[in-house]
Structures are given as C-alpha cells and as structure tokens.
Amino acid sequence: MASKLKQVRTVETAKKPSLVEDAYRALKDAIRDNVFPPGYQGSEQEIALRLGMSRTPVHEAIIRLQEDGLVRVLSKRGVQVCPLSPEDIREIYDVVIAIEARAAELLAAMPLEARSQVAQELEEATARMEQALRRDDLHAWATADDQFHRLLVERCGNSRILRIAQTITDQAHRARMLTLRLRSKPTGSAAAHRAVAEAIRTGQVADAHHRARQHRIDARDELLPLIASVGIKHL
C-alpha cells in the first residue's frame, strides 16, 4: 500500500508542473493576443473557466505572470491584466532595441555553421510573414514576425538577454496586436528581416547590430505617433 501511495504521489508531482506550465502558457498567450485585453479584471475562477482549466494551476500561473509584469493580483478583487501606457511602450522599445541589436551582433560572431543555421530559421519565419500578408492574414503575420524576433534572442547564446526579452517581447507583442488594423500594411518588414538575416549569415557583426537596431527603431517611430494620433491612453 505504501508503495502504491508513493507511486501516486510521484505521478501527481510529475503532472503538476506540466499543468501549471500549460496554464501559464495558455493565459500568457491569451494576454499577448488580447483575448484578455488591457485592464481586464476577473476572478481566478472566471479565468480558469474561460481557459477550460482547473483553478489550482491557473492560480500558480497567475503568480508567475505577476512576476512577469503582465497581471496584477488585487486584494479581494481578483486579477487585472496590466495596461500599458504610451510611455511604457517607449520604454519597452528602448530595451528591445538594445537587446536585439546585441543579440544580432552575437549571432553574427558565431562560427559559420551555427550562424548559417540561425539565418535559415530567420529566413523561414520571414517567408511565413510574406505568405500571411499575401492572404491578408495579419494575425498570422504578427505570429511569424514575433517568431523572427524571438529567434534572435533565443539563439544568441546569452541566457540573461533571453530572460529579459521574454517579458519585454510579450509586452511589445500586445502593442503590435492591438494596433495591427490601425497601421499601414507592413510590407517593408520582410526586407528588413532579410537584411538582418543576411548580415548574420555572412558574419557582418557591425552590420547585423545596425540593421537589427534600425528595424526596431523604425517600428517604434511608426507605432508611438500612431498611438498618439488616435488618442490611445492604454494598451
């Protein structure tokens, strides 16, 4: 009997992290894609029901997401999705510009085989962006665009850059999703991405830094005036 109980506990212990991770990923994706929009407030039970999950792993996921700066737990009032002000977006882009430029630099300095592999992955994400644009599927375009920028930091070999980027890029993605239909069709992004990928492929360290940095500066300089022009106070 003791042996069976031990086996049950072992199985439960193995399952719990997986359930929490599933809840964390599901809720994080729902926030990133604005299923739970900025300022949304609800109870843990309501959120669990909407996600089709039990409350316990959702509770654990909410604690992690509060550490990520995506939600705020309100005493006796449930959970709120943290809104982002235009100044928050400006600060987010300041960080993104710096870390992605450095990540591109690190990638371009890698040995030929490693940087060629990363460049190929970046090209594939860019191709998915172009395919989505041809279908006028802006959601799929944004997903592929997000994959490109995640690849930069995930493959650069600096674990601290990756940890910083995970939260910051989630917040930048929210802004991207909320303003997709307000912006002009993003036809220039693919060319900018290919220039970054080519600089990495050919080992042009300074050029990779410059192109990655300029691409994000251009995105910021398009997004912030747009937010101001339509009077958006929070994202």
CB contact at 8 A, 124 and 169 = no
94 pLDDT exceeds 80?
Answer: yes
In a domain, 98, yes or no: yes
Q: Are 153 and 98 part of one and the same domain?
A: yes
b/e for 75-113, b at 16 or more Cβ within 10 A? eeebbbbbebebebbeebbebbbebbbbbbbbbbebeee
8 pLDDT exceeds 90?
Answer: no
**pLDDT of 126-172, one tens digit each?**
999 999 999 999 889 988 999 999 999 999 999 999 988 877 877 77
Count of domains observed in the chain = 2
Q: Are 90 and 74 part of one and the same domain?
A: no
Tell which of 60, 81, 102 closes a domain.
81
175 pLDDT exceeds 80?
Answer: no
CA-based nearest residue to 46, from 63, 27, 33: 27
**What pLDDT score does 52 carry?**
92
- Structure tokens, 18: 């997986």
- How sure is the predictor about 101, in pLDDT bands with cuts at 50, 70 and 90? very high
Q: Are 109 and 154 part of one and the same domain?
A: yes
Q: Are 168 and 129 part of one and the same domain?
A: yes
Q: Are 107 and 77 part of one and the same domain?
A: no
In a domain, 196, yes or no: yes
Tell which of 81, 110, 129 closes a domain.
81
Q: Are 35 and 107 part of one and the same domain?
A: no
**DSSP letter string, 65-109:** HHHTTSEEEETTTEEEEPP--HHHHHHHHHHHHHHHHHHHHHHHT
**What pLDDT score does 179 carry?**
75
Indicate the burial class of 177 (C-beta count within 10 angstroms; 0-12, 13-18, 19 or more): buried
12 pLDDT exceeds 60?
Answer: no
Amino acid letter, 171: Q
Report the SS3 class of residue 208.
helix
Q: Are 161 and 103 part of one and the same domain?
A: yes
Give CA 194 to chain center in angstroms: 20
CA-based nearest residue to 64, from 17, 118, 9: 17
Q: Which domain holds residue 52?
A: 2-81
> Where is average pLDDT lowest: 5-9, 74-78, 193-197?
5-9
Tell which of 43, 59, 81 closes a domain.
81
- How sure is the predictor about 15, in pLDDT bands with cuts at 50, 70 and 90? very low
In a domain, 235, yes or no: no
Q: Are 107 and 223 part of one and the same domain?
A: yes
Give CA 31 to chain center in angstroms: 10
Evaluate if pTM is beyond 0.85.
no
Q: Are 109 and 139 part of one and the same domain?
A: yes
What's the whole-number mean pLDDT along residues 64-92?
Answer: 87
In a domain, 122, yes or no: yes
CB contact at 8 A, 50 and 61 = no
Q: Are 66 and 93 part of one and the same domain?
A: no
Q: What is the mean pLDDT of the chain?
A: 87
**pLDDT of 26-74, one tens digit each?**
998 888 878 888 889 999 999 999 999 999 999 999 999 998 888 999 9
CB 12: neighbour CB atoms within 10 A? 10
**CA separation for the pair 198, 68 (Å, rounded):** 33
Q: Are 35 and 142 part of one and the same domain?
A: no
In a domain, 49, yes or no: yes
In a domain, 117, yes or no: yes
In a domain, 156, yes or no: yes
**What pLDDT score does 235 carry?**
66
What CATH number does the domain containing 51 carry? 1.10.10.10
Q: Are 94 and 66 part of one and the same domain?
A: no
